[in-house]
A and B are shown apart, each in its own frame.
Chain A
Amino acid sequence: MARLVLNAVLAGHEGRVWQASWDTAGDRLATCSGDRSARIWTPLAPALFFAGAQGAEAMELDAGEQQTSGSWQCVETIDNAHKRTVRSVAFEPTQGRALATASFDGTTAIWEKEPGGDAYECMATLEGHENEAKSVAWSPSGQLLATCGRDKSVWIWESNGEGDFDCISVLMEHLQDVKMVLWHPTDELLASFSYDNTIRIWKDDGDDWCTAATLTGHMSTVWGGAFSPDGRYLASVSDDRTVRIWTQRAAAAAGGADAGFYVQPTLAYECVATVPDSVHTRAIYSVSWCGPAAGAPADDLGLLATGCSDNAVRIFRVAAAGARVGVELVHTLENAHGLSDVNCVQWNQAHPGWLATCGDDGTARIWRFEP
């Protein structure tokens, strides 16, 4: 019987933990919190831990656990990183040195530690959002950074190679609060998820970024999403308690010859699976996609994890079924963070089967999935 086994509790934040993000190597986890700080955590012996050896042993699921497990440590605390809640955190993906944080104070900050230095220093502050910034994401190349916020806008920034960024686009097409931004794993496409119930896919048309597709179907706020690691599918989760899976369909170039010099490559997406609203009992805040194991059958699309305000973490097995996709619930872990919302779930892409979650109880937790 498939199950999630708790292997570590990361305690230290003095407020709810909003997001947990692994670095590309999969050995460090960054978290951010309502206590206005960001933290970086790592196992004492990462290789051994993720091999299932040292320190990686099943713990009793005790919701009251508020001590960091002995096998992990908090290696960095960026205190007072912002004037208000730090809502989102992300490691720079190519070298993993820099860390971006987005805050309700409206700013996004870039932090870096000089080799041999003793603390992370703020290298750049990206201002522009009128109020709360909600999410920050680096493109896979590390060259672009996207942010979004309550002011309904999505901003794209480009690294100038000297630690600072230029604003290259301000996209104001969402009608409401934008909850999350997410880059496609291989193509230069950005997805944004909004309180206006839609998902937008953005693309560079050579001059500026523009909407390449608007995905409609969710009946309420879309809180977040995750691309499948091969980039073929996008999963989204919503306040409407459904999970939807979308895939790109070839579309004729809009307008064709009439469009003159500015042919807009327009993408079409189709919803190929919906997990009905009877499975999750409240708003779903977070979803993460773990690719299939090496050598798995071609129709195996891997695992989805969801974090929900009904306090549960759920695991689904995803498989292609012709043009559709089958999504099967294989495990429900109730009260993963006690009687608290689960704000974020994040598979470790470098160490398959390891999942980080964080919640309103002020902790992040590390789990191993046993199929």
Chain B
Amino acid sequence: MSFSGGLRLTDLNDYITPGQECIKPAQVPKTGQGGGSHIKVGQAGEYYEVTKDGEETKLETASITLNDCLACSGCVTSAETVLITMQSHHELLAVLDENRRLREAAEGDRARRVVVTVAPQSLASLAHKHQLPVPSVAQRLAGTLKAMGVDYVLDSAFSRDLTLVESAREFVERHRESEGRTGAGQSLPMLASWCPGWVCYAEKTHAEVLPWMSTTRSPQQAMGVVVKDYMARRLGVAPDRIYHVAIMMCYDKKLEASRSDFYSDLYKTRDVDCVVTTGEVDRMLAEKQIALADAPETALDSLTAGAAAQDGLYASAGTSAGGGLEYILSYAARALHGVSVSPEEVAAAGRGEATHPLLQVTAVRNQADHREITLLDPATGQPALRFAAVYGFRHLQNLVRKLKSGRMGYHYVEVAACPSACANGGGQVQPADPSSAAKKEWVAATERIYVAAGPRALPEDNPALHELIRDWFGEAGLDSDAARQALHTQFHGVTAKANPLGVSW
């Protein structure tokens, strides 16, 4: 092959992999000696600045921050390695060590309060791995974390109740605004935004669907604002004096925690400082040679003075995607059509365990990960509310195609980027056998444990939630501007930057 002019260079595109597109190798500090120095690449790929008189200084390798990744339209995948180093259980251990050191130096007042929020999907995964009941795992984990120096351990299903109620209110509001019409220019369909993998993908590649994203914070970020706002005030400390860790089912949650929307410029702190995955927690326990089965049981903490759930755990009906579809359908059926269908009835119908005269469940193209759940109008038998659950990247593609072409009549779509939703989160404890058959069975078992652990009561019947809302937002409760401000977020389309290597050749 003989190169002939610039034309041939287009071939070079073939050899640049997505990871390599992101090149930020060396930061060149100005040495102030004027021109004449140059950069040399060492044998191991390290960079040296060589001055005129031959003096070599090794250059620091620039690091790529999460915000660099978020602001770029490039790879999603290679960002993961960055995430893993930025937020891991080592960060949590470092904070606990620092607190210990401060206390030993009689500077305990400088120690930060450490709050850990744990997701129910993570508890199900740990329960599966360690063959323990979910409440027992929760309490043993709480006992272990507290013995390590964590001050509070909270259940993210509590903030999920808050998020569920607010999401359902958002849906009803959007439905009234568009009078039930869906499509371009309408406020429906409402798309779930709890899955950060989906949000990130949509922002980077399909910005036109963003107006349909539910603006209510996810359970993780709702707990973030509860801890850094409500709890900080109750404890009488500044938000940055609390270090908030979330134990989550997926790595993408780290990306969510690092969004600038959840960063306080005033206090220079994030609502969630660090996300540790279920698998990382399990590895941390192994590293510290702690067997969950032998750990002491300690009740989880309650955010309010009033009643905590019986064993400190909350739950909601539905799949491991979190129960948004089930609860919102139930709430909207009541609010918009005066029909009573409980989230548990929706969940059971969705799993194919029960039928309901007003619910129609269809697995699209026979795929369990793309289910349509339709509420029928009792008077006419016609579809009144069309909901769908779409899990996994391939089904998500069809959702996006339908959204863009306007061929979609759903009112609400629960979206998760992983097949089988969050029981299958990338951060969950993985089976020892890596075969896809073993993995499927493993995920199914985790899902069964997750489903069996709940539910007890409707989110709106959670007395602790009522107490929190009253205490936090006053009499106007969720209708207050403060609640709107605290519980909602926004989305940002990322415009593709022209690939500098792709232009003009």
Contacts and interface: CB of A to CB of B under 8 A. Distances in A.
Q: Do A and B come from one complex?
A: yes
Interface of A: 34, 85, 104, 127-128, 130-132, 150-152, 164, 166-170, 176-177, 195, 207-208, 210, 254-255, 259-264, 282-283, 309, 339, 341
A104 B398 CA distance: 22
27 contacts: A104-B13, A130-B75, A150-B13, A150-B16, A150-B17, A152-B17, A164-B405, A167-B395, A167-B398, A167-B401, A168-B365, A170-B393, A170-B394, A176-B17, A177-B14, A177-B17, A195-B15, A207-B367, A254-B435, A259-B435, A261-B441, A262-B437, A263-B437, A264-B435, A283-B1, A309-B1, A339-B2
A341 B10 contact: no
A259 B393 CA distance: 25
Interface string B387-419: 000000111011001000100000000000001
Contact of B14 (A150, A152, A207, A339): A150
A262 B1 CA distance: 48
Contacts of B205: 130
A341 B394 contact: no
Contacts of A170: 393-394, 397
B436 interface: yes
A167 B435 contact: no
A195 B17 CA distance: 10
A132 B13 contact: yes
Interface extent on B, as a size class?
A: 20 to 34
Contacts of A128: 397
A13 B419 CA distance: 44
Contacts of A210: 436
A170 B397 CA distance: 9
A123 to B, nearest CB: 12
A228 to B, nearest CB: 28
Interface in B186-207: 205
B18 interface: yes
A152 B17 CA distance: 8
A167 B10 contact: no
Contacts of B10: 34, 85
Given A170-B393, A260-B437, A195 B1 contact: no
B18 A130 contact: yes
B440 interface: yes
Majority DSSP secondary structure for residues of B touching A: helix
B16 to A, nearest CB: 8
A259 B13 contact: no
Contact of A262 (B75, B365, B419, B440): B440
Nearest to B367: A207
B394 A208 contact: yes
A167 B394 contact: yes
A1 to B, nearest CB: 29
Interface in B1-51: 1-2, 10, 13-18
Contacts of A309: 1
Contact of B436 (A150, A152, A168, A264): A264
Contacts of B75: 130
A66 to B, nearest CB: 17
Interface of B: 1-2, 10, 13-18, 75, 205, 365, 367, 393-395, 397-398, 401, 405, 419, 435-438, 440-441
Contacts of A259: 435, 437
Contact of A151 (B1, B18, B437, B440): B18
A152 B440 CA distance: 24
Contacts of A152: 17-18
A169 B18 contact: no
B12 to A, nearest CB: 12
A136 B395 CA distance: 20
A341 B397 CA distance: 37
Nearest to B435: A255
Contacts of B438: 260
Nearest to B400: A127
A118 B337 CA distance: 51
A339 B8 CA distance: 14
Contacts of B13: 104, 132, 150
Nearest to B21: A131
A123 B124 CA distance: 46
A183 B13 CA distance: 26
A283 B401 CA distance: 38
Given A164-B401, A261-B437, A262-B440, 12 more contacts: A104-B13, A130-B75, A150-B13, A167-B398, A170-B394, A177-B17, A195-B14, A207-B367, A259-B435, A259-B437, A262-B436, A264-B436
A341 B1 contact: yes
B397 A262 contact: no
Nearest to B76: A130
Contacts of A34: 10
Nearest to A130: B18
Nearest to B73: A130
A169 B394 contact: yes
A257 to B, nearest CB: 12
B169 to A, nearest CB: 33
A111 B207 CA distance: 26
Nearest to A339: B2
A176 B398 CA distance: 25
A131 to B, nearest CB: 7
A282 B1 contact: yes
Which of B15, B365, B401, B441 has the most chain A CB atoms inside 10 A of its CB?
B401
A259 B440 CA distance: 11
A166 B17 contact: no
A168 B394 contact: yes
Contacts of A263: 437
Closest 3 CB pairs of A and B: A262-B437, A167-B397, A259-B437
A84 to B, nearest CB: 8
A309 B1 CA distance: 6
Contacts of B436: 210, 262, 264
A166 B365 contact: yes
A195 B13 CA distance: 13
A23 B405 CA distance: 30
A151 B13 CA distance: 12
Contact of B437 (A85, A167, A255): A255
Which of B205, B393, B405, B437 has the most chain A CB atoms inside 10 A of its CB?
B437
Nearest to A209: B394
Contacts of A150: 13-14, 16-18
B441 A262 contact: yes
Contacts of A260: 437-438, 441
Contacts of A261: 437, 441
A297 B17 CA distance: 47
A169 B365 CA distance: 13
Contacts of B401: 127, 164, 166-167
Contacts of A254: 435
A34 B7 CA distance: 10
A340 to B, nearest CB: 9
Nearest to B395: A167
A354 B381 CA distance: 62
A210 B436 CA distance: 9
Contacts of A164: 401, 405
A164 B401 CA distance: 10
Contacts of B1: 282-283, 309, 341
A179 B180 CA distance: 46
Nearest to B436: A210
A252 to B, nearest CB: 15
Nearest to A196: B17
Nearest to B419: A208
A76 B295 CA distance: 74
Nearest to B74: A130
A207 B17 CA distance: 30
B439 to A, nearest CB: 9
